Amino acid sequence: MNGMDELEAARFRIYALQDGAVRAQALAFALTVGLFDRLEREPLTRDAIGAAFGLAPRVLPALLAFLASNGLIERREDGAFANTPATSAFLVRGSPRYAGGRGLLFQGFYPAIAHLPESLASGQPWTPEGQHDMFAGFTAEQQRWFAEGMYANAVHGGRSLAEVVDFSDFQRLLDVGGNSGGYAIALAGANPGLRATIFDLEGVRELALERVAAAGLTERVAFAAGSFFEDELPRGHDVVLLSSILHDWDDGDCMTILARCFRAIEPGGTIVVAEPMLAEDATGPDHPAASGLTMALLGGENRTRRRIGEMLEAAGFSGTWMSELLPQNSVVKAVRAE
């Protein structure tokens, strides 16, 4: 902004953090009513937006000003509002880079987020059972918004993982806690020689099979139901993926999951861990740092790459390799030597 020195600019960044709740709600509202989907079809005047979405004239300018000032819509010379290129790419349903589902996921976390101060003070998850409680207790409706959020993450995470790890070297992927298949679909889609099994709780099966069928991958991507705390993992895979799994859990639960992965994986096979990871001095990056707060609330933790490597070695893996520190998910991989 014109004439603003660095300290003043910092004051407005602080304001934006303080306003975070209302910003998140306004964006989620625009997504939920389908405003961006509609503007993608045709730019609309303010009055037409009000009429189309039943919004009161007194408050409509506030919503539009917020969206415009954040670069999510733009006002054209004729007065109509249109999507910006970023909105067309990331906030219009059906875009291959749709990221809107993340916002809906955080809507689902709202009741929990109110308990962050307690979790920060006690070091304990919001509910006594943390993630155990959450995943086991999901209703079908919650399962759907969670999957939508995870899928939105995976569209981007899958692409960046494929840039870091060459999956064409593998034949059989086990995607542990693979949810509705965002990663399995991205990786099998990009590697015609790769077959995949998504392993997740029974409640996820239908959503996963829907997505796999929509991607035309039913022949190569299967679903196996089970719990990585109670059941052995399916065998016969030469690569196991843990994407955003370890950060859901405390160290003890992580070691249980890693022991099961070690037993399941073929000797000579590879384990790939991809999730938001912190810099060794825990000063960022932004996305892993912020998502670490959600993990703390739910009983998990965003760790450093070195810490993940130590856990893999404690579980019996060797030959640990780490990606550079990446803004969304970093990657640590290792092999089961024998």
Ligand X SMILES: C[S@@+](CC[C@H](N)C(=O)[O-])C[C@H]1O[C@@H](n2cnc3c(N)ncnc32)[C@H](O)[C@@H]1O
Among 28, 35, 152, 154, binds ligand X (CB under 6 A): 154
Footprint of ligand X on residues 76-135 (CB under 6 A)? 135
Among 197, 244, 302, 330, binds ligand X (CB under 6 A): 244
Which C-beta is closer to ligand X: that of 39 or that of 241? 241
Q: Does residue 148 touch ligand X according to CB under 6 A?
A: no
Nearest distance from residue 151's CB to ligand X, in Å?
7
Place of tokens 């054209």: 76
Footprint of ligand X on residues 201-240 (CB under 6 A)? 201, 204, 227-229
Specify whether the backbone of 268 is left (phi greater than 0), alpha (psi in -120 to 50) or beta.
left
Which residue stretch of 69-77, 173-181, 288-296, 330-338 sits at the interface with ligand X (rule: CB under 6 A)? 173-181
Q: Does residue 12 touch ligand X according to CB under 6 A?
A: no
Alpha helices in the chain (DSSP H): 6-18, 20-33, 35-41, 46-53, 60-69, 85-90, 101-113, 116-122, 131-137, 140-164, 182-190, 205-214, 251-264, 286-298, 305-314
* 70-96 per-residue burial string, b: 16 or more CB within 10 A, e: under 16: eebbbeeeeebbbbbeebeebbbeebe
Q: Does residue 249 touch ligand X according to CB under 6 A?
A: no
Q: Does residue 299 touch ligand X according to CB under 6 A?
A: no
- Non-local (6+) Cβ contacts of 157 within 8 A are 182, 183, 243, 244, 274, 328, 329
Pick the catalytic residue: 115, 132, 247, 287? 247
Which residue stretch of 38-46, 86-94, 199-207, 288-296 sits at the interface with ligand X (rule: CB under 6 A)? 199-207
HSE-up of residue 14 (Cα within 13 Å, Cβ side): 6
Instruction: Report whether 277 contacts 329 (CB < 8 A).
Output: yes
Give the Cα separation of 286 and 292 in Å (integer).
10
Among this protein's residues, is 247 annotated catalytic?
yes
Which C-beta is closer to ligand X: that of 92 or that of 184? 184
Q: Count CB neighbours of 140 within 10 A.
A: 9
Nearest distance from residue 332's CB to ligand X, in Å?
15
Nearest distance from residue 280's CB to ligand X, in Å?
23
Which C-beta is closer to ligand X: that of 179 or that of 302? 179
Report, as residue numbers or ranges, the catalytic residues: 247
For ligand X, the binding residues (CB under 6 A) are 135, 150, 153-154, 177-179, 182-183, 200-201, 204, 227-229, 243-245, 248
